[in-house]
């Protein structure tokens, strides 16, 4: 089932066309990676698809019905969670940070407590529960950030470079843990990344964006192994790097 769909979407800023997408769909259960050079339009696509930004032209559909970023019902907005590169944790304990979304939804205290406990364990950060979130390392903070998004049991999880600030061993461990979590929860995920290694480990399908256009789309392994002419220079650079 199509959860989200873009039809004839364009994002234009001044004379620049940042995004031009005739059709794009996110199906239930998809684990989609989005890769492309700097400034290609990856984050813009994420913002339009998650209703954080209205397109200049075109239609954004939720389960076949057109919806608008500027007048989206709160109930619908709450079905989407977004985690960005900067974890933006607030000055309170890890417990409070992870439970905040549920508190705002007026969830019962006991339920919040149980769910926070569950997600801290899932992300292996239960030992940090009472620590101030602002005093965490980058890797710890990103685990809190992801737990904070997943505790809301979103219908779609949007991730914009959530691992890019982490050192390699921290990143590798978190990707492994996160992969298991996504597998267990079957959360529909839209994942913007610069890193082919992350994409390879975490996604089932891959979208290559170049100059605001969807240049290639398909099974992740197939796109990486057989990039088309326009995607090849970009993807092959990564492949060279990984075979060093
Ligand atoms: N509000 C805006 N006004 C004008 N230009 C913008 C605006 N937001 C983004 N851009 C431009 O749109 C283009 C696409 O930006 P976007 O952030 O979507 O790219 P990206 O693929 O995510 O890039 P990166 O990999 O560097 O994060 C860039 O050229 C950027 O400078």
- Which residue shows structure tokens 């549920």? 102
Number of structural domains (the chain) is: 1
Say how many Å lie between the CA of residue 40 and the centre of ligand 1.
7
The domain containing residue 89 runs over which residues?
2-242
Q: In testing the pocket of ligand 1, which one of 12, 44, 164, 212 has its CB within 8 Å of the most ligand atoms?
A: 44
Question: Which atom of ligand 1 is closest in space to residue 192's alpha carbon?
Answer: 22
pLDDT at 234: 84
Q: Which residue lies with its CA nearest to atom 12 of ligand 1?
A: 18
Q: What is the pLDDT along the chain (244 residues), one digit of tens a residue?
A: 899 999 999 999 999 999 999 999 999 999 999 999 999 999 999 999 999 999 999 999 999 999 999 999 998 999 999 988 777 899 999 999 999 999 999 999 999 999 999 999 988 899 999 999 999 998 899 899 999 999 999 999 999 998 887 788 888 888 898 899 888 888 999 999 988 888 998 999 999 999 999 999 999 999 999 999 988 888 888 777 776 5
Task: Return d(Cα 181, Cα 186) in angstroms, integer.
Answer: 8
**How far, in Å, is the centroid of ligand 1 from the Cα of 226?**
27
Give CA 91 to chain center in angstroms.
Answer: 24
29 lines ligand 1 (CB under 6 A): no
CATH number reported for the structural domain that contains residue 34 in this entry: 3.40.50.300
Distance (Å, whole) CA 159 – CA 43? 10
Ligand 1: residue whose CA is nearest its atom 10: 18
Per-residue CA distances from 193 to 82, 84, 168, 243 (Å) = 14, 11, 15, 20
Please state, in angstroms and rounded to a whole number, the distance separating the CA atoms of residues 95 and 113: 8
How many residues in the chain? 244
Asked if ipTM goes beyond 0.90, one says yes
| Cα angle for residues 77, 41, 21 (degrees, 5° grid) | 80
- Closest approach atom of ligand 1 to CA 19: 14
pLDDT of residue 244: 52
Name the residue among 205, 109, 101, 190 with its Cα closest to residue 153.
Answer: 101
Alpha-carbon distance values, 136 to 49, 83, 124, 182, 202 (Å): 31, 17, 14, 24, 25
């Amino acid at each position: 089932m199509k959860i989200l769909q873009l039809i004839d979407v364009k994002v234009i800023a001044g004379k620049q066309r940042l995004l031009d997408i005739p059709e794009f769909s996110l199906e239930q259960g998809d684990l989609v990676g989005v890769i492309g050079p700097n400034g290609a339009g990856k984050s813009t696509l994420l913002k339009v698809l998650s209703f954080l930004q209205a397109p200049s032209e075109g239609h954004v559909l939720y389960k076949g019905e057109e919806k608008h970023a500027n007048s989206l019902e709160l109930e619908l907005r709450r079905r989407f969670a977004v985690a960005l590169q900067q974890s933006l944790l607030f000055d309170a304990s890890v417990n409070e940070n992870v439970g905040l979304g549920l508190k705002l939804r007026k969830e019962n205290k006991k339920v919040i407590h149980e769910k926070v406990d569950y997600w801290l364990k899932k992300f292996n950060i239960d030992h940090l529960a009472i620590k101030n979130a602002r005093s965490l390392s980058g890797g710890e903070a990103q685990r809190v950030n992801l737990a904070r998004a997943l505790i809301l049991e979103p219908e779609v999880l949007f991730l914009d470079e959530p691992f890019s600030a982490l050192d390699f061993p921290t990143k590798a461990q978190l990707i492994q843990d996160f992969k298991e979590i996504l597998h267990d929860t079957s959360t529909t995920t839209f994942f913007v990344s610069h890193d082919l290694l992350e994409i390879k480990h975490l996604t089932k399908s891959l979208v290559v964006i170049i100059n605001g256009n969807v240049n290639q789309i398909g099974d992740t392994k197939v796109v990486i192994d057989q990039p088309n002419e326009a995607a090849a220079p970009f993807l092959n650079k990564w492949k060279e790097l990984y075979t060093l």
